[in-house]
Amino acid sequence: MTLADPVNCLQGKHILLGVTGSIAAYKAVSLLRALKARGAFVSVVMTAHATEFVTPLTFEVLSGERVLTDLFHMHEEMKHLHAPENADVMVIAPATANFLAKAALGLADDLLSTMLLAARCPIIVAPAMDGGMWTHPTVVEHVNRLRARGVVVLDPEEGPLASGRIAQGRLVCEEKLLDAVQSALCVHSDWEGEHVLVSAGPTQEAIDPVRFISNRSSGKMGYALAEAARARGASVVLVTGPTALARPSGVEVVSVTSAQEMADAMCQRLEWATVVIMAAAVADFCPKESASQKLKKSDRSSLVLELVPTPDILTILSAQKTKQILVGFAAETEHLLEHASRKLADKGLDAIVANDVTQQGGGFGSDQNAAVVLTRDGRRREIGLMPKRRLADEILTEIKRLKDGGCASTVIAGEEDRGNAQ
Residues that bind ligand C5P (CB under 6 A): 259, 278, 280, 282, 284, 310-314, 328-330, 343
Given the complex with ligand C5P, which of 103 and 239 has the nearer CB atom?
A: 239
- From the candidates 215, 355, 369, 420, which is the catalytic residue? 215
Establish whether 8 is a catalytic residue.
Answer: no
Distance CA 30, CA 59 (A): 10
Would you say 192 or 271 has its CB closer to ligand C5P? Answer: 271
Instruction: Output the residue with the shortest Cβ distance to ligand C5P.
Output: 313
382 bridge partner residues = 372, 412
Q: How far is the CB of 197 from ligand C5P (least distance, A)?
A: 12
- Closer CB to ligand C5P, residue 110 or residue 350? 350
Query: Least distance (Å) from ligand C5P to the CB of residue 211?
Result: 20
Task: Output 261 or 284, the one with its CB closest to ligand C5P.
Answer: 284
Minimum CB distance to ligand C5P smaller for 35 or for 266:
266
List beta partners, residue 68. Answer: 45
Minimum distance from CB of 310 to ligand C5P (Å)?
Answer: 5
* Amino acid letter, 155: D
Task: Tell me the closest approach of the beta carbon of residue 238 to ligand C5P, in angstroms.
Answer: 13
Nearer to ligand C5P, 17 or 286 (CB): 286
Give 24-27's long-range contacts (Cβ < 8 A, gap of 24+): 24/93, 24/94, 24/128, 24/170, 24/171, 25/50, 25/53, 25/54, 25/94, 26/53, 26/54, 27/93, 27/94, 27/171, 27/174
Phi, psi of 160 (to 5 degrees): -65, 130
Other CB atoms within 10 Å distance of the CB of residue 225: 30
Q: Which is nearer to ligand C5P, 51 or 260 (CB)?
A: 260
Closest approach of ligand C5P to the CB of residue 351, in Å:
11
Least distance (Å) between residue 275 CB and ligand C5P: 14
- Give the CA dihedral 162, 167, 170, 173, nearest 10 degrees: 130
Beta carbon of residue 222, minimum distance to ligand C5P (angstroms, whole number): 9
Task: Just list the catalytic residues.
Answer: 215
